């Protein structure tokens, strides 16, 4: 039996039923043979056909392994064939709640189970695999049950101590249903992904609240990964942000932190807005002030600013630094191990603090 269990657990979950169906009858037969030859049980088996005994042992082993017994056909108070549970019980699925927990675990495993295994698990769980799914991370298990009741068919489980749901995604209607059901709750909703990428939806739904917390209190509202994709992309790895800054913002190293911060803000506003008037409106300063700063920026960066790729990477660098600074202001602990971003560059030596007039 131990050997059978080892073989089962060494296979993907979706193949467990197939392994049982193939090997359990032979093991049950071996058990019956041993019992027939044991003097302590020989009298008990004297009036029982070996085939009946084998099927009874088979059902007992299925029960011990957590599988439900198959339907038993009765005829006048006796089993229809007089032979006990029907053989179809070997194909009996795992109980629905357990099968759904297995499916949840398979969908969120790393790496995800193969497509064939997912399909078999989904059949056992009676949860047809949709084309796309979302993961919802909630604050309390009771909320998960309530939300599942509102939304209908959903997989519920605990991921690293947090109650989560996997729900089928059908586009705009699913988003609207989630917004309505989650109103007044603190929750994070992952982006729609194919079932094989469920772990990605879970990962970003768990990370998002720390980066873009929703409203609290009576007006609590969920946060959706869909609404913060560029932010999450830019904040994936802070070390890469620092590497970008070291490469593209080197011309600002000779400035004081205050000068550098002003030019960074002006450069980003110009890159986002496309011109001095738009940047001035964003920064709430006079357009002439922006033009003056832009002339200083052009002196520092030279003709590189006319290169589309350079402008793109500069904007990406500056956006990442701004987002990182915002996250640290909301969560001061996040910045203890790293240096501050916008305006937080360590002061350079006196020889490197050359001032730019008017900044």
Residues 107 and 217 in one domain: yes
Last residue of a domain, one of 91, 118, 133: 91
Residues 101 and 226 in one domain: yes
CA angle 13, 15, 17 (to 5 degrees): 100
Residues 79 and 133 in one domain: no
What is the spatial distance between Cα 205 and Cα 228, in angstroms, rounded to a whole number?
A: 11
Which pLDDT score, from 0 to 100, does residue 332 have? 62
List the domain range (segments joined by +) for residue 142: 96-234
Residues 161 and 255 in one domain: no
Q: Which of 114, 159, 110 is nearest to 13 (CA)?
A: 114
H or E stretch covering 236: none
**Residue 357 covered by a domain:** no
Which pLDDT score, from 0 to 100, does residue 346 have? 35
pLDDT in tens, 192-210: 999 999 999 999 999 888 8
Residues 283 and 313 in one domain: yes
pLDDT in tens, 48-95: 777 777 777 777 666 655 554 443 433 443 333 444 444 444 444 457
Which pLDDT score, from 0 to 100, does residue 43 have? 63
Residue stretches of the chain with pLDDT short of 50: 68-93, 334-359
- This prediction has a pTM of 0.58
What is the spatial distance between Cα 300 and Cα 296, in angstroms, rounded to a whole number?
A: 6
Q: Is 355 exposed, middle or buried (0-12, 13-18, 19+ CB in 10 A)?
A: exposed
Last residue of a domain, one of 186, 216, 234: 234
User: How many other CB atoms sit within 10 Å of the CB of residue 12?
Assistant: 15
Helix, coil or strand: residue 4: helix
Residues 252 and 305 in one domain: yes
Burial 178-197 (b: 16+ CB within 10 A, else e): beebbeebbbbbbbbbbbbb
Residues 80 and 45 in one domain: yes
H or E stretch covering 215: none
Contact status, residue 163 vs residue 156, Cβ threshold 8 Å? yes
Quickly list H helices, 152-256.
172-181, 198-211, 229-234, 238-248
Counting the structural domains of the chain, the total is 3
Residues 228 and 121 in one domain: yes
N-terminal to C-terminal alpha carbon distance within the chain: 79
**Residue 81 covered by a domain:** yes
| Long-range CB contact pairs, 24-28, < 8 A, 24+ | 24/58, 24/61, 24/62, 24/90, 25/54, 25/58, 25/90, 27/1, 27/61, 28/54, 28/55, 28/57, 28/58, 28/61
Residues 191 and 267 in one domain: no
Q: Which of 119, 131, 130, 184 is nearest to 152 (CA)?
A: 130
**Residue 359 covered by a domain:** no
**Residue 280 covered by a domain:** yes
Q: What is the largest CA-CA distance in the chain?
A: 107
Which pLDDT score, from 0 to 100, does residue 39 have? 63
**Residue 358 covered by a domain:** no
Residues 75 and 37 in one domain: yes
Which pLDDT score, from 0 to 100, does residue 92 have? 46
Contact status, residue 117 vs residue 167, Cβ threshold 8 Å? no
Residues 100 and 68 in one domain: no
């Amino acid at each position: 039996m131990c050997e059978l269990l080892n073989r089962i657990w060494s296979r993907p979950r979706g193949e467990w039923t197939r392994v049982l169906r193939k090997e359990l009858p032979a093991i049950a037969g071996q058990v019956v043979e041993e019992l027939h030859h044991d003097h302590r049980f020989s009298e008990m088996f004297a009036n029982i056909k070996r085939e009946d005994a084998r099927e009874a042992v088979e059902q007992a082993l299925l029960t011990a392994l957590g599988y439900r017994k198959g339907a038993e056909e009765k005829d006048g108070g006796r089993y229809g064939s007089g032979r006990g549970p029907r053989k179809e019980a070997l194909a009996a699925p795992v109980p629905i709640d357990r099968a759904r927990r297995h499916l949840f675990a398979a969908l969120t495993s790393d790496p995800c189970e193969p497509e064939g295994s997912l399909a078999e698990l989904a059949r056992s769980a009676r949860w047809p695999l949709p084309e796309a799914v979302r993961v919802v991370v909630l604050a309390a298990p009771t909320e998960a049950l309530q939300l599942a009741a509102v939304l209908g068919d959903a997989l519920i489980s605990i991921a690293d101590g947090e109650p989560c749901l996997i729900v089928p995604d059908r586009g705009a209607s699913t988003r609207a249903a989630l917004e309505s059901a989650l109103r007044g709750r603190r929750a994070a909703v992952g982006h729609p992904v194919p079932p094989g990428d469920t772990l990605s939806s879970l990962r970003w739904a768990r990370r998002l609240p720390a980066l873009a917390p929703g409203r609290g209190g009576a007006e609590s509202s969920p946060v959706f990964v869909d609404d913060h994709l560029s932010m999450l992309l830019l904040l994936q790895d802070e070390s890469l942000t620092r590497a970008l800054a070291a490469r593209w913002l080197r011309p600002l190293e000779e400035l004081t932190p205050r000068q550098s911060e002003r030019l960074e803000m002006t450069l980003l506003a110009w890159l986002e807005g496309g011109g001095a008037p738009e940047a001035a409106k964003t920064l709430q300063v006079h357009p002439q002030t922006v033009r003056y700063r832009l002339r200083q920026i052009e002196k520092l960066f030279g003709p590189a600013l006319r290169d589309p790729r350079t402008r793109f990477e500069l904007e990406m660098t500056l956006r990442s630094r701004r987002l990182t600074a915002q996250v640290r202001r909301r969560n001061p602990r996040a910045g203890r191990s790293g240096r501050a971003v916008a305006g937080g560059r360590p002061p350079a030596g006196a020889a490197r603090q050359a001032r730019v007039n008017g900044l």
